[in-house]
Structure 1
Amino acid sequence: MFNLWKWGNLLLAFLVELVALGIFAWWGWDTGSTTLARWLLAVGLPLVTAVVWGLFAAPTATRGTPAVRWVVKVLVFGLTGAALWSLGHPLLAVVFVVVVAANLLIIQTQKLQP
Structure 2
Amino acid sequence: MKALLLALIFLLELALLAAAGWWGFTRDAGWPVRLLAGLGAPLLIAVVWGLFCSPRASVSLPAPAKLGVQAACFVTGGLLLALAGRPGYGAVLVALWAVDKALLTALGDPV
TM-score normalized with structure 2 length = 0.89
> Aligned partners of 1:60, 1:107: CA distance in 2, in Å?
19
In structure 1, what is the equivalent of residue 18 of structure 2? 22
2:94 corresponds to 1:97: yes
Partner in structure 2 of residue 108 of structure 1:
105
* Contact 1:10–1:112, Cα closer than 8 Å, also in 2: no
2:73 alignment partner, one of 64, 68, 76:
76
Identity %: 31
3-state SS in 2 of match to 1:31 = coil
Following TM superposition, the consecutive aligned residue runs of length 4 or more in structure 1 with deviations greater than 4 angstroms are none
After the TM superposition, which of the residue ranges 10-19 and 43-52 deviates more from structure 2?
Answer: 43-52
Give TM-score scaled by structure 1 length.
0.87
CA distance in 2, matches of 1:105, 1:85: 24
RMSD, aligned α-carbons: 1.4
Unaligned runs of 5+ in 1: none
2-structure distance, mates of 1:58, 1:106: 19
The 1-side partners of 2:40 and 2:53 are apart by 19
User: 1: distance between equivalents of 2:41 and 2:92?
Assistant: 22
Give the one of 39, 42, 58 matched to 1:62: 58
Q: Displacement of 1:34 after TM fit? A: 1.3
- Give the C-alpha shift of residue 109 in structure 1: 1.7
Asked which structure has the greater RCO (Cα within 8 Å, sep 6+), the reply is 2
Aligned to 2:33: 37
Distance across 2 between alignment mates of 1:17 and 1:103: 12
More helix by share: 1
Letter in 1 for 2:78: G
Structure 2, unaligned stretches of length 5 or more?
Answer: none
